[in-house]
Amino acid sequence: MPRKKVSKPSFEEALNELESLVETMEQGDLTLEESLKSFERGVELANSCQLALKSAEQKVEILSANTPNAKLEPFDASQS
């Protein structure tokens, strides 16, 4: 029987799920088996986030290379 294709979570979804997993694990109420499953899922999510960040970094480098004389501006997170 063919496997159902699972969609990859967005960076934000993966990060939120990872944060939730960490909070749950920090409470210490999980069994060893549940903890191992949560840890395994956490590693998958962390890898997914790392790949998304690396991809974004590469895109920024490519875009920056197209305008080598561009003026640097401070980043303002409140405008995003």
61: in domain: yes
Count structural domains, the chain: 1
Would you place residue 54 in the very low, low, confident or very high pLDDT band (cuts 50, 70, 90)?
very high
53: in domain: yes
55: in domain: yes
pLDDT at 72 over 80: no
Give the model's pLDDT for residue 80.
Answer: 47
CATH of the domain at 50: 1.10.287
How far apart CA 37 and CA 19 sit, in angstroms, is 15
Reduced to 3 states (helix: H, G, I; strand: E, B; else coil), residue 79 is helix
Would you place residue 48 in the very low, low, confident or very high pLDDT band (cuts 50, 70, 90)?
very high
Segments forming the whole domain that contains residue 21: 11-65
